[in-house]
């Protein structure tokens, strides 16, 4: 009879907790951040506690970093109280910090997002003094202080176990061998198998990625970064096994020389939760821990381009030509616009302007340049347009392919190729050669012809003057030599 009554009370309390939690979740929740004491010993942990009252702790931000302290993992707490028929509950997560040395440290104001709400904390000063002595706990007293009902509601101590994860950090490339200047895509991603049972999440990803890229980026390559902003899982299949891929970093690299490209092994620290060995209904069933995953090193071989007079300067990629000309019927002396647009897949930034053959039939001016680059689906493509102004000077029929050409190397065919204009223009009008000569400045010599004296003069007087000047110079040299030797 007593056992039945106790069972009824427990069921009544359980149902009351469930329904009260349901209505409390509808009408709101109270969230608070509690900071540790102002002063601790060097051997004591300092804590930040985030507590959610009358609701579950579903999600929370990263805890702040504190200068002079190191994070030592989190622990969780939960509590349920029934007072005069009123049920209240709370769930907390506690981040433990350990001081690196004694001193006074400042935790600046900070904000955390807890259950999709932004909670602010004013921060505080923390004094770390000499190590404190710890009091030993009476094991007999602790045994009798334990409430058997706390195990059911989750308040008692919980044993957590480490579950083996099925995940890896992978650095992959879409090519293992490339030519100088040929692009290849590099992806750093975290892969989680569909049958993984270990709960994990990212933390401090921005800071970690900054340190990773310092080691990862090769110095002998041009980089086109895909700028991943949101990390979202994508289902993929690898060797008949299904994973969720979280791309952390992706970029296309273009080797500048034949040195091999070496990607070293890099590590990414993840939050990995331990799970409760005996889960309770109301208690916290996981505990925060950390684990670092390492990628495998990888080397890309770089091949030299085949022999060609322009192999040191040509672009490498798969390119095509899109050209535009206002009219194929031109007149001498009148300017015309022409656009030489190179588009395709490759290092668009490295595309140089086309080579122009110059003669007396056209005047060509420096082009305006417009560049467009698109980075998506693991490839870099785009276009680079060169807009020219030209002035025909001689009438006739001209093939613009004789003037505009651009050489590149296509790695798909392993051959050099040339883009040439396909336009043929007809120029009418008078020749501009004579006009260009007449328009030139004759110079100051011709400007003074009309002012020059054309009277004939005898050259005898000039000769006697030259003889006299020469004799005077010889006399002065003789006198100087006499004075030097006499002295």
CATH number at residue 366: 2.60.40
Is the residue at 477 inside a domain?
no
Q: Which residues of 15-44 are buried (b: 16+ CB within 10 A; e: fewer)?
A: eebeebbeebeeeebebebeebeeebbeeb
Give the pLDDT confidence score for residue 282 in this predicted structure.
Answer: 54
Mean pLDDT of 131-156: 47
Q: Provide CB contacts within 8 A for 326, sequence distance 6+.
A: 336, 337, 338
Q: Where are the alpha helices (DSSP H) in 199-264?
A: 205-216
Is the residue at 234 inside a domain?
yes
Is the residue at 27 inside a domain?
yes
Mean pLDDT of 290-310: 95
Give the pLDDT confidence score for residue 447 in this predicted structure.
Answer: 58
User: Is the per-residue pLDDT at 141 higher than 70?
Assistant: no
Please state, for a pLDDT cut of 90, what percent of the chain lies above it: 49
- The verdict on 323 and 279 lying in the same domain is no
Q: Note down the domain range covering 67.
A: 20-132
pLDDT digits (tens, 9 = 90+) for 321-380: 999 998 999 999 999 999 999 999 999 999 999 989 888 899 999 999 999 999 888 889
- The verdict on 192 and 258 lying in the same domain is yes
pLDDT digits (tens, 9 = 90+) for 190-247: 999 988 888 888 988 889 999 999 999 999 999 999 988 788 888 999 999 999 999 9
The domain boundary, picked from 303, 323, 354, lies at 303
Mean pLDDT of 110-115: 89
Is the residue at 59 inside a domain?
yes
- The verdict on 271 and 327 lying in the same domain is no
- The verdict on 298 and 328 lying in the same domain is no
Element (H, E) at 478: helix 460-486
Give the pLDDT confidence score for residue 449 in this predicted structure.
Answer: 59
- The verdict on 62 and 178 lying in the same domain is no
The region of weakest confidence among 83-92, 139-148, 367-376 is: 139-148
Is the residue at 390 inside a domain?
yes
User: 306 versus 25: which is more confidently predicted?
Assistant: 306
Long-range own/partner contacts, residues 70-77 (CB < 8 A, 24 or more apart) = 70/97, 70/98, 70/100, 71/95, 71/96, 71/97, 72/45, 72/96, 72/97, 72/98, 73/287, 73/288, 73/289, 73/290, 74/287, 74/288, 75/287, 75/288, 76/284, 76/286, 76/287, 77/284
Is the residue at 29 inside a domain?
yes
Residue 298 binned pLDDT confidence (cut-offs 50, 70, 90): very high
- The verdict on 202 and 299 lying in the same domain is yes
Residue 389 binned pLDDT confidence (cut-offs 50, 70, 90): very high
Average pLDDT, the chain: 81
The domain boundary, picked from 251, 271, 303, lies at 303
pLDDT digits (tens, 9 = 90+) for 150-162: 444 444 566 778 8
- The verdict on 191 and 275 lying in the same domain is yes
- The verdict on 248 and 343 lying in the same domain is no
Q: What is the pTM of this model?
A: 0.59
Range among 67-76, 186-195, 441-450 with highest mean pLDDT value: 186-195
- The verdict on 245 and 347 lying in the same domain is no
Is the residue at 159 inside a domain?
no
- The verdict on 234 and 356 lying in the same domain is no
The domain boundary, picked from 256, 275, 303, lies at 303
> CA of 83: how far to CAs of 86, 88, 229, in Å?
5, 8, 49
Range among 18-27, 109-118, 320-329 with highest mean pLDDT value: 320-329
Q: How many domains does the chain have?
A: 3
- The verdict on 407 and 280 lying in the same domain is no
- The verdict on 351 and 413 lying in the same domain is yes
Is the residue at 433 inside a domain?
yes
Mean pLDDT of 58-73: 84
User: 317 versus 487: which is more confidently predicted?
Assistant: 317
User: Is the per-residue pLDDT at 78 higher than 70?
Assistant: no
Give the pLDDT confidence score for residue 486 in this predicted structure.
Answer: 72
């Amino acid at each position: 009879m007593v056992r039945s009554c106790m069972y009824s009370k427990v069921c009544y309390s359980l149902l009351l907790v469930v329904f009260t939690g349901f209505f409390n979740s509808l009408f709101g929740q109270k969230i608070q951040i509690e900071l540790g004491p102002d002063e601790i010993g060097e051997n004591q942990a300092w804590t930040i506690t985030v507590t959610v009252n009358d609701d579950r702790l579903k999600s929370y931000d990263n805890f702040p970093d504190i200068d002079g302290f190191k994070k030592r993992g989190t622990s969780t707490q939960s509590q349920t109280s029934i007072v005069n028929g009123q049920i209240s509950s709370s769930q907390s997560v506690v981040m433990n910090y350990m001081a690196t040395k004694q001193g006074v440290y400042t935790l600046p104001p900070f904000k955390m997002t807890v259950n999709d709400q932004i909670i602010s904390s004013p921060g505080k000063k923390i004094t770390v003094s000499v190590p404190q002595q710890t009091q030993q706990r009476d094991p007999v007293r602790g045994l009798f202080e334990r409430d058997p009902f706390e195990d059911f509601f989750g308040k008692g101590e919980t044993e957590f176990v480490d579950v083996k994860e099925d995940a890896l950090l992978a650095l992959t490339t879409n090519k293992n061998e490339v030519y100088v200047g040929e692009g290849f895509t590099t992806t750093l991603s975290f892969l989680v198998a569909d049958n993984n049972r270990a709960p994990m999440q990212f933390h401090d990803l921005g800071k970690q990625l900054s340190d990773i890229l310092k080691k990862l980026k090769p110095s002998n390559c041009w980089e086109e970064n895909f700028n991943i902003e949101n990390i979202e899982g994508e289902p993929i299949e690898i060797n008949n096994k299904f994973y969720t891929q979280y791309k952390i970093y992706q970029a296309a690299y273009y080797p500048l020389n034949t040195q091999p490209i070496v990607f070293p092994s890099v590590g990414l620290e993840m939050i990995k939760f331990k799970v409760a060995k005996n889960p309770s209904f109301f208690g916290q069933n996981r505990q925060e821990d950390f684990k670092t995953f390492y990628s495998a090193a990888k080397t890309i071989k770089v091949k030299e381009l085949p022999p060609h007079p322009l192999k040191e300067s040509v672009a490498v990629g798969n390119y095509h030509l899109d050209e535009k000309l206002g009219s194929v019927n031109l007149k001498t002396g009148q300017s015309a616009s022409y656009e030489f647009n190179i588009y395709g897949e490759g290092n668009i930034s490295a595309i140089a302007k086309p080579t122009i053959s110059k003669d007396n039939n056209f005047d060509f001016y420096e082009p305006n340049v417009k560049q467009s680059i698109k980075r998506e689906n693991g490839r870099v493509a785009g276009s680079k347009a060169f807009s020219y102004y030209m002035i025909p000077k001689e009438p006739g029929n001209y093939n613009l392919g004789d003037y505009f050409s651009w050489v590149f190397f296509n790695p798909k065919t392993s051959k050099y190729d040339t883009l040439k204009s396909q336009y043929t223009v007809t120029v009418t009008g008078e020749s501009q050669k004579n006009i260009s000569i007449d328009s030139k400045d004759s110079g100051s010599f011709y400007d003074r012809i009309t002012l020059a004296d054309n009277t004939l003069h005898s050259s005898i007087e000039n000769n006697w003057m030259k003889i006299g000047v020469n004799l005077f110079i010889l006399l002065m040299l003789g006198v100087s030599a006499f004075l030097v030797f006499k002295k």
